Homo-oligomer: A and B are copies of this chain.
């Protein structure tokens, strides 16, 4: 009899921790992921603001599982699931389609960014869900400071120095706080017009960090106010274009740099899995699962993390614990030691860091804020950061960025600048010339 085959879809927190937990299970595990790396999403905003390098938040999967025996890592993108023949269909990095058979399946494809049907916004307001996003946002932020330096027209300069962030959840709040820190501290003395910088944090809801306890939202608001961040709640964004955003009611905000941290939705795979299994999905397109995280009628298929409809926040902890749970249930079945089936989430709490030395966190009944909250934030993120290398270099970069005031990871590629210029950040005429400049740069000239 051949060995039990487990296929894990996605190397995010859910898939990674499921794969880890399958280490000593008598099964052949296949992990399928479109990128070579696991992404530590909670720190993407630090890549975007020049604190960390992309490598520090994206450890290579092959390095994480280097010594692993029963694991096969396949680079590809899962397009469909066939529960009838127990296969997943994956398109490899080489463009070839492959059928991967499974006995047990763990689907952890996470969530993707949602512009609530206005995908056209993406061109002007990138989100922060991938390494590419983070490097693009980084490029736009530092590009804006440089362009403001060159602008003679005060109106233009104001547009370059106004940063609009849509969405006041953890990502939006952390991003706003870091951009304010850049202007008020980290880049101090490096540009003439920095003091004119305005950071505007927008959300349709009535408080920041809605997923958090009210008390902590209050504390967060006060910290944001201290950083002179213009927080506009109950404000719905109805349009995003090259020069700014438009609110319901017609009010405009001029800003060349817009970042979208508003909504997420289930990836396309969720819909296809629902079709194939007859499972129901919720409004966000997530799969409605059984208490043990399996798909109704398919005890061999688990859905964990952001792809599963649970009354739980879309945070790393939920995915990690869900992934581990699925692995334990499978292990229990194989070793004849069944596991208590229903998945119970142990809430270790939420946290968000607003500026250096200041974060908010609720750990169970405990509410932390200010320095204490920040220290716990520091500890938790270091603890969960995968890989010794990343822990060490991240701690080093944090020391430099928080105690000192440098931002050592500020690089934008000319490829990005080129793409940005093509996005009409410039008049067609200037654009033409600028693209010329950039092409010169790409030829390696430094004239």
Q: Which residues of A contact B (CB under 8 A)?
A: 9-12, 33-37, 39, 50, 53-56, 58-60, 62-63, 66-67, 74-79, 91-97, 109-110, 112-113, 127, 129-133, 135, 142-143, 146-147, 149-151, 187, 189-191, 267-269, 387, 389-390, 392-393, 396-397, 400, 404, 406-417, 419, 421, 426-427, 429-434, 436-437, 440-447
Contact = CB atoms under 8 A, between A and B. Distances in A.
Contacts of A432: 95
B408 A389 contact: yes
A389 to B, nearest CB: 5
A53 to B, nearest CB: 3
Given A132-B442, A408-B389, A433-B91, A447 B55 contact: no
Contacts of A10: 446-447
Where chain A touches its partner, the secondary structure class is mixed
A109 B36 contact: no
Nearest to A156: B94
A211 to B, nearest CB: 20
A270 B431 CA distance: 26
A130 B442 contact: yes
Given A75-B150, A400-B392, A413-B132, A430 B96 contact: yes
Contacts of A142: 36
Given A413-B132, A414-B132, A267 B55 contact: no
A353 B183 CA distance: 40
A175 B190 CA distance: 35
A60 B410 contact: yes
Given A411-B37, A432-B95, A444 B130 contact: yes
Contacts of A408: 55-56, 59, 387, 389-390, 393
21 contacts: A36-B142, A36-B410, A60-B190, A62-B190, A66-B189, A77-B441, A77-B445, A91-B433, A93-B417, A93-B437, A95-B421, A95-B429, A95-B430, A95-B431, A95-B432, A132-B442, A135-B413, A267-B446, A389-B404, A392-B400, A393-B400
Contacts of A59: 408
Nearest to A395: B396
A157 to B, nearest CB: 11
A79 B445 CA distance: 11
Contacts of A94: 147, 150-151, 426, 430, 434
Given A35-B414, A131-B411, 10 more contacts: A12-B446, A33-B446, A34-B445, A36-B410, A60-B407, A63-B190, A77-B445, A91-B437, A94-B150, A268-B447
A113 B433 contact: no
Nearest to A60: B410
A131 to B, nearest CB: 6
B413 A131 contact: yes
Nearest to A91: B437
B446 A109 contact: yes
Contacts of A109: 445-447
A447 B415 contact: no
Contacts of A146: 36, 75, 93
B92 A150 contact: yes
A419 B426 CA distance: 24
A109 B443 CA distance: 13
A148 to B, nearest CB: 10
Contacts of A92: 150
Contacts of A95: 421, 426-427, 429-434, 437
Contacts of A66: 189-190
